[in-house]
């Protein structure tokens, strides 16, 4: 490289930053040292400090500053160093350098103050923030729009709402950035209604929104589910000509997704002239949040075809979609992609993987993902505890809960729902009641509807049905569908028709269109020989136009989902499926299996009842799985309803006969059948 002038070398350093080329920047630095005398011109030192700060090489940046004579250091020199520390999250060091700058003494400028205010806000240090405010006021810089805005933001983020309001009111001119900060902080503070009021105030004083204003206002609307207000803003966006702005369109996709208007989210997405990875992430998330998991996966595949690189947010969203549809094969393929994209170590991706493997019944994979995570947060622990609870592994969930607390992680509302659920499914009545009764005092968490439902389920599963009903009557909050549903199920298991009637009619009031509650009560009456009452429930269903929900089961093979209904003969492999079912019936009968038809329709003959239960959808799915899934590989079946008692008994026999592990996920929990036994230990 020929010797260049100082100005040309400065331009090269700027190019190194813009092209993200550290190697080129270091080579330029070496040429500077070789061609120029020490000390370097101050503007070159500033360029070098700025470059190393941008590349997060803060030690190198500090060394350059130390080699610059104190008389040559300017506010620009120090601001480059302070800004670099703030941008890379080294907030305490940034404030220390700010202090050193003041000792020289050099006065901060309108670029230095915002960096210092941001550092104090990040450290939640209002004392330092107030000192900075006083310094900015003394130097008459507080009324600069950027300085004033950063000071206001600092007060909001450190919880000093009164000081923030006073700061806002005292500003002679409020820039759009300050209004945006006001709206944004209200959203972050969990007060979307205040954010809306601020936006209205902004418009009344003649403020013209920019893309950031629209985005933060949409966040407020989505947080509070203000669908109509958000739609009005969408109209204003179109009238203002911002409907072509990428950030605003991404915000609209996110808003409609969170407000359960998926078609509107798709409409905005399809109308975008330009998209980025945030656009695709927002649409994937919109489908996943609204339980349209297959569509979420299709959008993800379309994004990959478009060459969009998977981000941690996109990967975690599509993994959650895989969890929702029990797509273990899909989930594993996305896991492989996450490893390839080097995002599997991200705490959100890792937590989503644990949740997905847990919900797909592969608890060993969930454990491996959990223990391989470089860092864990509360969501991670909750996902693992919840995975154990869903599998009925109370003996694993409860020790993990203790490990979590010994690591200093404080449980939240969801954690205790998972723990109480584990106690319920594991039969740990005494421990579960102790945890519930100590929630407020020990964990400072007020029990909610989900916790009460877990306790009713805990008592009901243990056969303490009357105690569960007494518990409901003493609840300080109105019992929910989950509470009465847990009691009704306990009445079904332990044949308590009178209490079952009470629970069912409460459910009819809360959710009159749910056919499952009517069917459950009808079957409860039938199983206890109360045929007239069972018939009356069925007649009531017919009179009000309630139809029994169709049960179905599905199984995924080679990334293709195969769905079956009861008595289904439509599959292309039906003849082989029927052969397998007939063979299994013969072998089960030889092994001592007797069909349990107590829950089947009471107006059928016994032979018809046996035929009825023999062709339930999960059995057809199992027969198909035995044909297409290689020996030694577990067969995983998902069912949209609760598995019936006879199928549960039959699957235990089948697992021993075929020598295969069979995992069934129904709408309540996992059942893992192996060697004639089920993981639930018949406690379900």
> Where in the sequence is the domain holding 609, given as residue range(s)?
552-678
Residue 70 CA to residue 66 CA, distance in Å, equals 8
Do both 558 and 647 map to the same domain? yes
Cis (ω within 30 of 0) for the bond into 105?
A: yes
Do both 556 and 673 map to the same domain? yes
One DSSP character per residue, 86-153 reads: HHTT-HHHHHHHHHHHHHTT----TTHHHHHHHHHHHTT-HHHHHHHHHHHHHTT-TTSHHHHHHHHH
Task: Give the per-residue pLDDT at 329.
Answer: 86
pTM: 0.78
- State how far the alpha carbon of 234 is from the alpha carbons of 214, 263, 515, in Å: 9, 15, 39
Q: Is residue 599 part of a domain?
A: yes
Q: Is residue 340 part of a domain?
A: no
DSSP secondary structure code for residue 409 in this structure: P
Final residue before a domain boundary, out of 505, 531, 562: 505
**What's the pLDDT tens digit per position in 127-153?**
999 999 999 999 989 988 889 999 999
Do both 589 and 495 map to the same domain? no
Residue ranges of the chain whose pLDDT lies below 70: 1-3, 543-549, 596-614, 683-684
Task: Give the per-residue pLDDT at 613.
Answer: 54
Do both 466 and 560 map to the same domain? no
Residue 565 CA to residue 549 CA, distance in Å, equals 11
Q: Is residue 605 part of a domain?
A: yes
The CB density around residue 238, as the number of other CB atoms within 10 Å, is 11
Final residue before a domain boundary, out of 476, 505, 534: 505
Do both 561 and 668 map to the same domain? yes
**What's the pLDDT tens digit per position in 419-432?**
999 999 888 899 99
Residue 308 CA to residue 277 CA, distance in Å, equals 6
Find the DSSP H helices in 341-442. 347-359, 363-372, 378-391, 394-406, 413-426, 429-437
How many structural domains compose the chain? 2
Do both 570 and 669 map to the same domain? yes
Q: Is residue 439 part of a domain?
A: yes
The CB density around residue 683, as the number of other CB atoms within 10 Å, is 14
Do both 501 and 556 map to the same domain? no
Task: Give the per-residue pLDDT at 684.
Answer: 63
- State how far the alpha carbon of 292 is from the alpha carbons of 297, 395, 514, 560, 628, in Å: 9, 34, 21, 16, 27
CATH of residue 441's domain is: 1.25.40.10
Decide: 684 and 671 in contact? Cβ < 8 Å: yes
Do both 400 and 493 map to the same domain? yes
Sheet holding 560-565, edge to edge: 560-565, 552-557, 635-639, 662-665, 670-674, 677-678
One DSSP character per residue, 619-661 reads: HHHHHHHHHHSPTTSPEEEEESSPPPHHHHHHHHHHHHHHT--
Do both 562 and 659 map to the same domain? yes
Task: Give the per-residue pLDDT at 169.
Answer: 87
Task: Give the per-residue pLDDT at 612.
Answer: 52
Q: Is residue 231 part of a domain?
A: no
Do both 674 and 558 map to the same domain? yes
Q: Is residue 99 part of a domain?
A: no
Q: Is residue 410 part of a domain?
A: yes
Task: Give the per-residue pLDDT at 607.
Answer: 40
Q: Is residue 387 part of a domain?
A: no
Cis (ω within 30 of 0) for the bond into 609?
A: no
Do both 561 and 669 map to the same domain? yes
Task: Give the per-residue pLDDT at 577.
Answer: 93
Do both 416 and 497 map to the same domain? yes
Final residue before a domain boundary, out of 505, 535, 563: 505
């Amino acid at each position: 490289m020929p010797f260049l002038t100082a100005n040309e070398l400065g331009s090269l350093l700027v190019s190194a930053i813009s092209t993200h080329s550290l190697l080129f920047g270091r080579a330029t630095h070496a040429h500077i040292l070789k061609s120029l005398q020490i000390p370097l011109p101050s503007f070159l030192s500033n360029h070098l400090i700025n470059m190393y700060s941008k590349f997060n090489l803060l030690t190198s940046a500090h060394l350059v500053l130390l080699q610059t004579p104190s008389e040559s250091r300017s506010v620009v020199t120090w601001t480059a160093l302070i800004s670099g520390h703030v941008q890379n999250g080294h907030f305490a060091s940034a404030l220390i350098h700010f202090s050193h700058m003041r000792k020289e003494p050099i006065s901060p400028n309108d670029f230095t103050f915002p960096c210092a205010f941001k550092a104090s806000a990040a450290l939640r240090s209002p004392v330092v923030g107030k000192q900075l405010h006083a310094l900015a006021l003394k130097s008459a810089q507080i009324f600069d729009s950027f300085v004033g805005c950063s000071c206001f933001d600092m007060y909001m983020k450190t919880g000093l709402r009164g000081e923030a309001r006073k700061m806002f009111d005292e500003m002679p001119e409020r820039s759009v950035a300050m209004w945006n900060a006001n709206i944004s902080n209200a959203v972050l503070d969990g007060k979307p209604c205040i954010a809306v009021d601020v936006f209205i105030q902004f418009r009344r004083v003649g403020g013209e929104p920019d893309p950031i204003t629209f985005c933060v206002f949409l966040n407020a609307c989505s947080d509070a589910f203000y669908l109509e207000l958000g739609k009005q803003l969408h109209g204003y966006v179109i009238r203002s000509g911002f409907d072509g702005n990428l950030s605003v369109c991404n915000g609209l996709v996110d808003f409609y997704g969170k407000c359960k208007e998926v078609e509107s989210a798709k409409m905005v997405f399809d109308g975008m002239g330009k998209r980025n990875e945030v656009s695709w992430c927002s649409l994937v998330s919109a489908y996943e949040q609204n339980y349209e998991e297959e569509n979420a996966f299709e959008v993800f595949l379309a994004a990959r075809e478009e060459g969009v690189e998977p981000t941690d947010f996109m990967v975690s969203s599509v993994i959650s979609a895989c969890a929702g549809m029990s797509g273990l094969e899909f989930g594993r393929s996305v896991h492989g992609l996450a490893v390839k994209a080097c995002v599997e170590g991200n705490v959100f991706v890792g937590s989503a993987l644990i949740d997905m493997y847990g919900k797909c019944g592969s608890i060993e994979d969930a454990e491996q993902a959990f223990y391989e995570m470089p860092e864990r947060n509360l969501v991670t622990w909750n996902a693992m505890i919840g995975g154990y609870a869903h599998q009925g592994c109370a003996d694993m969930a409860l020790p993990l809960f203790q490990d979590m607390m010994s690591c200093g992680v404080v449980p939240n509302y969801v954690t205790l729902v998972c723990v109480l659920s584990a106690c319920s499914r594991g039969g740990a009545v005494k421990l579960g009641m102790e945890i519930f009764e100590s929630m407020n005092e020990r964990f400072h968490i007020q029990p909610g509807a989900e916790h009460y439902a877990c306790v009713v389920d805990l008592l009901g599963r243990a056969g303490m049905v009357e105690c569960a009903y007494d518990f409901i009557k003493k609840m300080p909050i109105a019992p929910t569908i989950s509470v009465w549903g847990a009691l009704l199920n306990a009445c079904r298991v332990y044949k308590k028709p009178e209490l079952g009637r009470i629970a069912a009619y409460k459910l009819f009031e809360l959710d009159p269109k749910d056919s499952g509650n009517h069917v459950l009560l009808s079957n409860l009456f039938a199983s206890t020989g109360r045929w007239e009452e069972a018939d009356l429930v069925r007649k009531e269903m017919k009179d009000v136009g309630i139809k029994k929900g169709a049960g179905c089961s599905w199984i995924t093979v080679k990334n293709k989902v195969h769905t079956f209904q009861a008595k289904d003969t439509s599959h292309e492999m039906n003849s082989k499926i029927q052969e397998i079912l007939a063979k299994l019936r013969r072998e089960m009968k030889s092994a001592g299996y007797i069909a349990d038809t107590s829950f089947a329709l009471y107006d059928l003959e016994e032979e018809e009842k046996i035929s009825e239960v023999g062709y339930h959808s999960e059995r057809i799915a199992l027969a198909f799985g035995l044909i297409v899934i290689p020996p030694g590989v577990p067969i995983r079946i998902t069912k949209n309803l609760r598995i019936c008692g006879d199928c549960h008994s039959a699957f235990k026999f089948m697992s021993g006969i075929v020598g295969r592990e069979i995992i069934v996920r129904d709408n309540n929990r996992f059942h893992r059948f192996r060697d004639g036994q089920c993981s639930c230990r018949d406690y379900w």
